[in-house]
Amino acid sequence: MDLERLTRIDRTTFRIEPHGRMRVPAVIYGDEALVRQMDDKVAEQLCNVASLPGIVAAAYAMPDAHWGYGFPIGGVAAFDPDEGGVVSAGGVGFDISCGVRTHLTGLTKKDLAPVGDRLAEELFRTIPAGLGRHGRIRLNDRQLDAMLAGGAVWAVAEGYGREEDLARIEEGGRAEGADPDAVSPRAKERQRPEMGTLGSGNHYLEVQEVDRIYDPETARAFGLFEGEIVVTIHCGSRGLGHQIGTDYLREMVVAARRHGIDLPDRELACAPIHSEVGRRYLGAMRAGINCALANRQIIAHLAREVFARLFPGLELPLLFDVSHNTCKWERHIVEGRERALYVHRKGATRAFGPGHPDLPEPFRTHGQPVLIGGSMGTGSWVLAGNRDGRTKAFASAVHGAGRALSRHQAVKRWRGEELVRELARRGIVVKCQSPRGVAEEAPGAYKDVDAVVEAAEAAGLARRVAHLRPLIVIKG
């Protein structure tokens, strides 16, 4: 991106003043190198978002932002329903409530040594990953609707995981206001074989080692210690969410004109929050959130079973579960006035700080864990939300490294088998059914996650707590 087009506010904040159809400015967070690396399309897409009805304050891009469809990935935008504000299916994305959860094991690398390759093999065998590998759980119509209404709360009641997990999931494990009837029969059909599956693309289950601690006090409060083994799961709402996105994107494209919304790009398709389509989408999207929460809860349960077989009595308590493709109803202070807004985070993580009333008790003092997935070669991060009043972009932070190269370019540059061997030499075991899938997800195809996280901290979006190094990677 050409920095000449931007107004520089400080070292990590850039701004595009409103012009043309823009109703508010666009704000891009990141250091100079990261912003330069961003495609011009990010600015273009952000300016388009800034032109949507009812947008409040600004359209924001996180330091890991990259060119998406309609909204940039790494984009945040809030809308006021009483000022004609909209909800956008494209602004949430196809993988509704895709997110990350991390479980603590209390083990160290030394404890893993005696089980050798069995842990990786059993995880790969137990957790269905990739196209064509279906789960063993089949829900009938009634159970499916109960899952869509209940999320992780439903999953725990069905025996997947423990009651105490729920306080460590956003919204207590269940999005309020989910409407299973607003979800099409096709979406439900698509979900049927996919409950408890990881999916493919950038989704994974990793066994990781905490190799660097940046904020010892917060790390201690989170239960993280140097050398500890943790288990991290990255996946979303599977076929159900994809189909909800597909169904409502189309419906909103067709309905936009009727609502008097002139779209600069069809992918920005949206509907007034107060419209019939808008309300129905919110009900379906929340059902999609619940599907993702239930799905991650089930996968965690499968991982716990594997660990319990190899380490009898081990419990794997949940650190936290965050979602990074959502639209949520939240209260925020804007120019000194509290307003209830619908905040879209597309490839961005909510990052509530210490004292936030919506946070569960364990995180009131230090802020919530903000879990950042990296690429399989470089590692992931645990960040924490900043103190209220210092939060920016409606209390949002980055979600991952963000792609630097397309899948197309990655496949031309790397070969899956070689990458698996190279990572093995570095002590990282990769289990994946598709070598091409590994090549598309090559560590070099991603931006430097460390630089992304440093920029997020410098920009005041969140603060660094710990770095996680992958040891075992299970991919689709």
Partner 1 sequence: MELVVATPEGHELFAHQADIGVRGWGPSREKAFEQVAMALTAAIVDPREVEAREPVGICCEAPDDEILLVDWLNALIYQMATMAMLFGRFEVQIRDHRLEATAWGEPIDPAKHRPAVEIKGATFTEVAVRRLPDGRWLAQCVVDV
Q: Does 37 bind partner 1 (CB under 8 A)?
A: no
- 10 by DSSP, 3-state: which? strand
User: Which one among 29, 67, 204, 394 touches partner 1, defined by CB under 8 A?
Assistant: 67
Minimum Å gap between C-beta 115 and partner 1 is 26
Tell me the residue length of the chain. 476
Q: Cβ closer to partner 1: 48 or 208?
A: 48
Q: Can 274 be counted among the known catalytic residues?
A: no
User: Which one among 97, 105, 243, 391 touches partner 1, defined by CB under 8 A?
Assistant: 243
User: Which one among 15, 18, 23, 39 touches partner 1, defined by CB under 8 A?
Assistant: 39
Q: Cβ closer to partner 1: 95 or 209?
A: 95
Minimum Å gap between C-beta 162 and partner 1 is 30
**DSSP letter, residue 135:** -
Q: Cβ closer to partner 1: 278 or 476?
A: 476
Asked whether the CA dihedral 411, 416, 420, 422 is positive or negative, the reply is negative
How far apart CA 356 and CA 349 sit, in angstroms, is 15
Of 102, 473, 66, 106, the residue nearest 322 (C-alpha): 102
Please name every residue paired with 232 in a beta bridge, in sequence order, or none if there are none.
102, 206
Minimum Å gap between C-beta 188 and partner 1 is 10
Q: Does 470 bind partner 1 (CB under 8 A)?
A: no
Cβ atoms of 399 and 384 within 8 Å: the answer is: no
Give me the amino acid identity at 197.
T
Q: Does 418 bind partner 1 (CB under 8 A)?
A: no
| 3-state percent breakdown (helix, strand, coil) of the chain, nearest 5 | 40, 30, 35
Q: Does 189 bind partner 1 (CB under 8 A)?
A: yes
Q: Print burial letters for 65-80: b (CB count within 10 Å at least 16), e (below 16).
A: bbbbbbbbbbbbbbbb
Of 361, 241, 367, the residue nearest 295 (C-alpha): 241
Q: Cβ closer to partner 1: 81 or 201?
A: 201
Minimum Å gap between C-beta 335 and partner 1 is 34
Catalytic residue among 134, 399, 408, 467: 399
How far apart CA 30 and CA 127 sit, in angstroms, is 36
Q: Cβ closer to partner 1: 133 or 309?
A: 133
User: Which one among 3, 254, 308, 333 touches partner 1, defined by CB under 8 A?
Assistant: 254
User: Which one among 101, 168, 174, 190 touches partner 1, defined by CB under 8 A?
Assistant: 190
How far apart CA 29 and CA 11 sit, in angstroms, is 9
* 458 φψ region: left (φ > 0), alpha (ψ -120 to 50), beta (else): alpha
- 69 by DSSP, 3-state: which? strand
Cβ atoms of 90 and 71 within 8 Å: the answer is: yes
Minimum Å gap between C-beta 242 and partner 1 is 4
Which two structure tokens, joined as six digits, stand for 286?
């929340």
Which residues within the stretch 93-122 sit at the binding site for partner 1 (CB under 8 A)?
93-95
N-to-C CA span, the chain = 33
User: Which one among 15, 23, 109, 266 touches partner 1, defined by CB under 8 A?
Assistant: 266
Q: Which helix (H) or strand (E) holds 281?
A: helix 276-310
User: Which one among 135, 161, 201, 373 touches partner 1, defined by CB under 8 A?
Assistant: 201
Which residues within the stretch 314-373 sit at the binding site for partner 1 (CB under 8 A)?
none
User: Which one among 68, 283, 353, 460 touches partner 1, defined by CB under 8 A?
Assistant: 68
How far apart CA 286 and CA 278 sit, in angstroms, is 12
Q: Does 476 bind partner 1 (CB under 8 A)?
A: yes
Minimum Å gap between C-beta 34 and partner 1 is 14
Q: Does 193 bind partner 1 (CB under 8 A)?
A: yes
Minimum Å gap between C-beta 224 and partner 1 is 30
What positions carry a catalytic annotation?
399
Site residues (vs partner 1, CB under 8 A): 39, 41, 66-70, 73, 90, 93-95, 130-134, 186, 189-190, 192-194, 199-201, 239, 242-243, 245-246, 249-250, 253-254, 265-267, 269, 403, 406-409, 433-437, 440, 476
